[in-house]
Structure 1
Amino acid sequence: MTTVFDEVSSSSLEVAARVGAEPGHRKRKLSGWHFVLFPIAILFLVPFVQMALASFSPAKELVAFPPPFIPSHFTIDGYVKLFGTTDILLWLGNTVLVSGTAIISNLVLCSLAGYGFARLKFAGRNFGFLMILATIMIPTQLLMIPTYILFATLGLLNGLGAAIVPWLATAFGIFLMRQFFLSLPAELEEAGAIDGCNRWQIFFRIVLPLARPALATLAIFTLLGAWNDLVWPLIAINNQQSFTLQLGIANFQGAHQTDWSLIMAGNVIATLPLILFFLFAQRQFIATMTFSGLKG
């Protein structure tokens, strides 16, 4: 009898072939869409280039009108001031901790919940899923005061816990993983059950390895949300030692004076890790979109 692992391996190879896991073996042909998408990509790239150039501009040119796109001369005064007079490294470490915890927690909890709603049969499954999904439609502003009162009661304000707890699991993550698990052929799990695997073994040894594209997509969205979160930390955290990167950069802009050199340098530091992470995970992100149409 063919074991479930042999079947999973062959299915994985088939999936990899369908989603183009080895695009390097294909010759990419130039199409008309490239002439449309390339100018759009340049248009979206211009603000990032301008931000990077502005971070190396002299302070007097940042307040000139109109500001020059290319500085007259390059200087690192903004970065020297950023690393010398602020706690940017501490804020960066706090943000990495918050985002890393959020990613790990979402990958574990959302995948478990999504698999339960997709495959397990229990009373109130559809109703419970709809209630979770309905929370996405509630405006964040309506939840701020109740959430603040709850966190104050639990003693989680003014610490990293206030920034971490709201990102431990998300309704969008549960929805994403459930939809992905529904697209997987149920025959793989049935073969595992025939070979003696229990539900946990089926999930961790068969289903989860095939869910890497969806997990990468969830990680990207979780990172973007947790890394760029500003409104809630602005309300819940007043201790400068617990500032996240976005919260620290927001303090560079005051009511009477704005230090643009610090803001531009800080934004470069805040944006660069996101770009690198997306470049690392973009293939898995695209594979998720392709895999959603596969049927057994």
Structure 2
Amino acid sequence: MKTSSYTAAAHQKNSRNLPQKIGMYVLLGVFLIISIFPFYWMFIGSTNESGKMFTNPPTFLPGTKFAENLQNLNSTIDVTRVLFNSLFVSLLYVVSALIVCSLAAYALAKFEFKGRNLIFTAFLLSMMIPYQATLIPLFQMMSSAGLLNTYFAVIAPQICYPFAIFLLRQNFLAFPTELIEAARLDGAGELKIFAKVVMPAMRPSLAAASIFLFMTQWNNFLWPLVVLNESSMHTFPVALSSLLGLSYIDYGQVMTGVSIATIPIIIFFLVLQKQFISGMLGSAVK
């Protein structure tokens, strides 16, 4: 009798919650469609000729012009070279920035020294400085050092990324200091403790920082435009900007280029999405 009454009560409760669940799923479905539609429209544009982007009624079905648009795009900006430039610069930047930012965040989180909070505050305040205000001094520095038209000039200015330091520092603060002290008592050096004891537990936060760093560099337009003068060195955002002419814009080429430029970001996020969620929730240390 108790079991049957419990089952009836649970069924009645589920029946009352059914409209609420349906409404929630409908709302989530609407947000999903709104989120995905720009990507779908981008794909549709890449498979149709330029004129069909503005037809009335609009075209929502894939076309047959993707190969032609890709061929025209490749003849305009050399997709293979541009893709290599962007991948090489972005991946090298992620690795370099993670090393620098993780060391800085670890020092700010686990070392006691005078002025530590002041330095961290300075990092946070630097996030409020408009990036455009630093362009002229950075350009003069790179020009004086003879580093224009080099990958180093694109990577170096943002290698110490304040937000990545902030994100990693918050996760380093959650790491038990007792484990670090135990490793020191066992005779381990600071770099060995950092590499062998602390960093393995920081994989989720490193993945989260990696996604932010990769997207920052991959989508970086203004600084590569300023520092790179040769078309063979251009990254994807700079190369795509050359497709926007004053008199005519081939939107088939533009949408094809944007589609190709979006794929690496999606793949990078899908590979690291589980660690990204854990890192953003601050659950790197269990």
2:160 maps to what in 1?
A: 169
2:204 maps to what in 1?
A: 213
Q: State which of 189, 195, 203 in structure 1 corresponds to 2:186.
A: 195
State yes or no: 1:157 paired with 2:136. no
Give the 5 Å matches for 1:183-262.
183-262=174-253
Q: Are the equivalent residues in 2 in contact too, given 1:252–1:258 (CA < 8 A)?
A: yes
Give the 5 Å matches for 1:1-296.
34-65=25-56, 67-71=58-62, 73=64, 75-292=66-283
The amino acid across from 1:105 in the alignment is S
The amino acid across from 1:202 in the alignment is I
Of 213-222 and 137-146, deviating more is 137-146
Instruction: Provide structure 1 residue ranges, at least 5 long, that are not aligned to the other structure.
Output: 1-29
* 1:241-286, Cα deviation, whole Å (9 max, x unpaired): 1101110011000111112111111001100110011011000011
| Alpha carbons of structure 1 residues 194 and 136: separation in structure 2 relative to 1, 3 Å | same
The amino acid across from 1:41 in the alignment is L
| Alpha carbons of structure 1 residues 72 and 288: separation in structure 2 relative to 1, 3 Å | closer
Q: Identity over the aligned pairs, expressed in percent? A: 36
In 1, Cα distance between equivalents of 2:122 and 2:270? 35
**Once superposed, which parts of structure 1, at least 4 consecutive aligned residues long, lie more than 6 Å away?**
none
In 1, Cα distance between equivalents of 2:75 and 2:130? 39
In 2, Cα distance between equivalents of 1:33 and 1:143? 46
C-alpha displacement of 1:84: 3.7
C-alpha displacement of 1:172: 1.2
Bigger Rg over Cα = 2
| Alpha carbons of structure 1 residues 32 and 201: separation in structure 2 relative to 1, 3 Å | farther
The amino acid across from 1:259 in the alignment is D
In 2, Cα distance between equivalents of 1:147 and 1:273? 28
Instruction: Provide structure 2 residue ranges, at least 5 long, that are not aligned to the other structure.
Output: 1-20
In 2, Cα distance between equivalents of 1:91 and 1:107? 24
C-alpha displacement of 1:60: 2.9
* 1:106-155, Cα deviation, whole Å (9 max, x unpaired): 11111111000001112221111111221101011211222222222122
In 2, Cα distance between equivalents of 1:118 and 1:90? 41
The amino acid across from 1:271 in the alignment is T
Of 47-56 and 144-153, deviating more is 144-153
The amino acid across from 1:211 in the alignment is M
In 1, Cα distance between equivalents of 2:113 and 2:246? 55
Q: Are the equivalent residues in 2 in contact too, given 1:101–1:168 (CA < 8 A)?
A: no
In structure 2, the residue corresponding to 1:127 is in which secondary structure?
Answer: helix
| Alpha carbons of structure 1 residues 72 and 182: separation in structure 2 relative to 1, 3 Å | closer
- What number of residue pairs does the alignment pair up? 266
Q: Are the equivalent residues in 1 in contact too, given 2:183–2:193 (CA < 8 A)?
A: yes
Root mean square deviation, CA, Å: 2.1
* 1:72-109, Cα deviation, whole Å (9 max, x unpaired): 65542101212244311111111111101110011111
